[in-house]
Every structure is written in C-alpha cells, then in structure tokens.
Structure 1
Amino acid sequence: MITGTHAIVYAQDPERARAFFRDVLDFPHVDAGGGWLIFKLPPAEIAAHPADGPGRHELYLMCDDIDATVAELTAKGVEFTGGIAEARWGRLTELRIPGGGTLGLYEPRHPKATDLPA
C-alpha cells in the first residue's frame, strides 16, 4: 500500500536549499544522517494532465491566500520570479529556492483533494 510521496529537489547548492526549507519555510525535518535533511511536507495531492510528447512533472506548494503568503515570504527574504498570474484554476507565482532553481506556489480555485477526510 502507498504510504506517502517523496519529492526530490535537485540543487546546485543543496545546503542552501535545505536551509531555505528548514529556516524560511519552517518545514519540520529529520536528519537521515550526515546532515542529509528530509522535510515533512504539508498534505499533498496529485493530478494527471494531458501532455504532447513525453510526460513531465511539476511541484507546487499550495496556500489559501497567495497575497498574504507572498507578503509573508517576501518579508523573510524570499525572491519571487514574477508577479501573481491569474488562471481559471487558481492564482500562481514562482519562488526561487536558494541554490536550487524555482518552485511553484498557488492558491487553488478548484476543490482540493487535501480537504478530503483521511
């Protein structure tokens, strides 16, 4: 039986990326040994979208109020790559992971699977 999801963020500077998840996003974590931190994520959901050609995967953090979340994270020094875009299914932006690329952030306008009972 599936018990969870393990997502991987590849970073050129994994120490900076780990510090970001630990100190800025305040994700609880365990040390798997030698400072190799594994972070607990908020509840998750997965969707399958159509693709032209080979499939690809994306990772987004979700929030209830993107304006408040962006303001809170900006106050903590988080850099965003652009403004907040409006889509039929939600409002989204992208934040920079220090040493590790970008990560999507969105406020869904659709029913959330994370609201389903366990």
Structure 2
Amino acid sequence: MIHGAHVILYSKDAEADRAFFRDVLSYPFADAGHGWLIFALPPAEVAVHPSDANDTHELYLMCDDVHALVEQMKGKGIACSPIDEQRWGSITRVTLPGGGKLGIYQPKHASPLRPAGS
C-alpha cells in the first residue's frame, strides 16, 4: 500500500535550497531530470492536531541536539532563530538560502521511532 511520503517545499530560490539540502545537510538525492533533485529524508512521524482549518500542514525535521545543530549551522553561515523551549521540544528555525524557514527540533515527547527510555 503506502510505502513513503513525498514532501514538497516551495521556494523563491529552489536551486539554492536544493544546494542547502545537498551540501549543508548532505542528504542523499536522485536527479529526477533537469536538475530536479529529490532528497531522501530520515524516518518520519505524522501527528494530527486539532484545528479550525483544514489543508494547513507543517514540516519539522528532528535532531538529537538542537544546540549542537545551531552551532554547526552558525559555523556554515546559516542563520537560525533563538531556541524556543516548548513542552514538546526545543525548536529553532533555520533560514534557507531561498529565504524560507524550516523548523528543526529536539523532541521531548515519546516517539514511535525510538523505544521507550532511549
């Protein structure tokens, strides 16, 4: 049946943002033709939150140490927002070369990707 998810990020500078995923995050990719790079993502989770509106979706990447990630991005000249401590995780927003923001957080919640206690 379903074997994966395909996420689309819209960008004012898609080429620069593709280079970020390729060169800064070092994500494996395939060239779908004409420079359209499709990147492999780490394992994912889906959460369904209540809302007054439909068709609003968000993408966050997860990391083990958001403070270390912010330092690593700073060393590569990539801007990050201050870390925001929430009950569910510690989050920053990375500014992509195309100007968009991408949330990255260190989860504090249980995850189906990790056994309890790890």
Under a length normalisation based on structure 2, what TM-score does the superposition of the two structures give? 0.92
Asked if structure 2 preserves the Cα contact closer than 8 Å seen for 1:66 and 1:91, the reply is: yes
How many residue pairs end up in the alignment?
115
Aligned mates of 1:100, 1:43 — CA distance in 2: 26
User: Which segments of 5 or more consecutive residues in structure 2 lack a partner in the other structure?
Assistant: none
Asked if structure 2 preserves the Cα contact closer than 8 Å seen for 1:9 and 1:100, the reply is: no
User: Residue in 2 aligned with 1:93?
Assistant: 92
Distance 1:9 1:36, change over 3 A: same
Q: Are residues 1:13 and 2:16 paired?
A: no
Deviation at 1:115, TM superposition (A): 2.1
Aligned mates of 1:109, 1:27 — CA distance in 2: 24
Q: Percent identity?
A: 54
Aligned mates of 2:74, 2:10 — CA distance in 1: 23
Q: Are residues 1:51 and 2:62 paired?
A: no
Deviation at 1:100, TM superposition (A): 4.8
Q: Where do 4+ consecutive residues of structure 1 move more than 4 Å?
A: none
Q: Counterparts of 1:65-84 in structure 2 under 5 Å?
A: 65-80=65-80, 82-84=81-83
Q: Are residues 1:34 and 2:34 paired?
A: yes
